[in-house]
Structure 1
Amino acid sequence: MIPPSPWVTAHAAQIKTGGQVLDLACGSGRHARWLAGLGYRVTAVDRDGEALVALGAVANVQTETMDLEGDVWPLAGRQFDGIVVTNYLWRPRLPDLLAVLAPGGVLIYETFMLGNEAYGKPSRPDFLLQPGELREVVAASGLRELAFVEGYVAEPKPAMRQAVCARRD
């Protein structure tokens, strides 16, 4: 099993103890499992229902198969104390995603940025953040930035990454 992202593990304690956390585009659920183990109540969402099957028996994890890129935002009206997103970017839904972050909630977001095409996939500009883009999205949404990094990382494989941790005050 792939360990959780160091960015997620470094910032998860900012989320309210025992809070409701959304693991968006969770894939095999490495973060959902880890967060549930810490006592968070996790909603693990992905479009691949097959990937979610193994999470069905994990305590404190509820799985939901959803199309996150369709015409209708499936999480509208819900609220989460924490949102974790790694290795996923769908710009048209960023405002909708941030709208489900509850007051006091924490966003932990990490994905690829421009320049990653030199190291492999993703390489299409649609799936690569521009320099400072997450910082700008957070500021425009009224969230308070707690931490931000961008640039080259060697682990777990060479890539260009960008990450933010922010709170809705």
Structure 2
Amino acid sequence: MHGTETPSDWVRRWAPLIPSGSTVLDVACGAGRHLRWLHGLGHPVVGVDQSAQALDACAGLGEMVRADLESGPWPFAGRQFGAVVVTNYLWRPLWPALVASLMPGGVLVYETFARGNETVGRPARAEFLLAPGELLHACAGLRVVAYEDGFLPDPERFVQRIAAVRELAEPVTPPRYGLSPAA
């Protein structure tokens, strides 16, 4: 079980985008490596995982929710977060709920395995690997701040990762300037 490892470089890189003091949801949080780090930055944290043992390892950090995300209802319907963090987890039907769970100004930080990983290790089955551009499509309607799809050397793996922000408000259409046609 993970928990004492260093947080993902991707999560650390994009954490400054999280609105100050806002609550962060860590999906499939395991034993809490990202929960611990984000809590240490002063964010209230919510972790969700199906493993009671993993959640017990996070006791005292914040709100811990035990749920089977792949067969049960989304346990956070109607709630919004300053960030949703997902690493090394893929359940495609969850994507609309993840995007809807972002408050205005909130950031989705997502990193998981991509096609090509079958050549270097596990996971290797296609249903656990993102197709090219798949995360971009899942984040339609969000402002993509960063996106990568490729190979990482240490440890060897193929990943797709994205940092995307829900805009604070609908974009404003600027007024049209110029001369009106002569009458």
User: What is the TM-score normalised by the length of structure 1?
Assistant: 0.94
Matches within 5 A, 1:1-169: 1-58=4-61, 61-139=62-140, 142-155=141-154, 157-169=155-167
Contact 1:22 1:82 in 2 (8 A): yes
Alpha-carbon distance, 1:103 to partner: 1.1
Q: Residue 35 of structure 1: SS of its match in structure 2?
A: helix
Q: Which letter does structure 2 place at the counterpart of 1:21?
A: V
Greater gyration radius: 2
> More helix per residue: 1 or 2?
1
CA displacement at 1:148 relative to structure 2: 0.6
Q: Residue 55 of structure 1 aligns to a residue in which SS?
A: coil
Instruction: State how far apart, in whole Å, the 2-side matches of 1:75 and 1:62 are.
Output: 12
Amino acid at match of 2:37: W
Native 8 Å contact 1:86 1:109 kept in 2: yes
Coordinate RMSD, CA, aligned? 1.0
Whole-Å separation in 2 of the counterparts to 1:83 and 1:116: 24
Distance 1:124 1:95 in 2: 23
Percent identity, please.
50
Q: CA deviation at 1:72?
A: 1.9
Query: 1:85 & 1:117 partners in 2: Cα distance?
Result: 21
Which whole-Å deviations, capped at 9, do the CAs of 1:114-146 have from their partners, x for residues lacking one? 01111211111111100111112112xx10000
Q: Distance in 1 between matches of 2:73 and 2:34?
A: 25
1 CA distance for matches of 2:134 and 2:89?
14
Q: Give the 4+ runs in structure 1 shifted more than 6 A.
A: none
Q: How many equivalent pairs are there? A: 164
Counterpart contact for 1:55–1:63, Cα < 8 Å = yes
- Tell me the amino acid that sits aligned with residue 67 of structure 1: D
Unaligned runs of 5+ in 1: none
3-state SS of the aligned residue for 2:86? strand
Partner Cα separation in structure 1 for residue 166 and residue 145 of structure 2:
10
AA matched with 2:150: G
Which segments of 5 or more consecutive residues in structure 2 lack a partner in the other structure?
168-183
Letter in 1 for 2:56: V
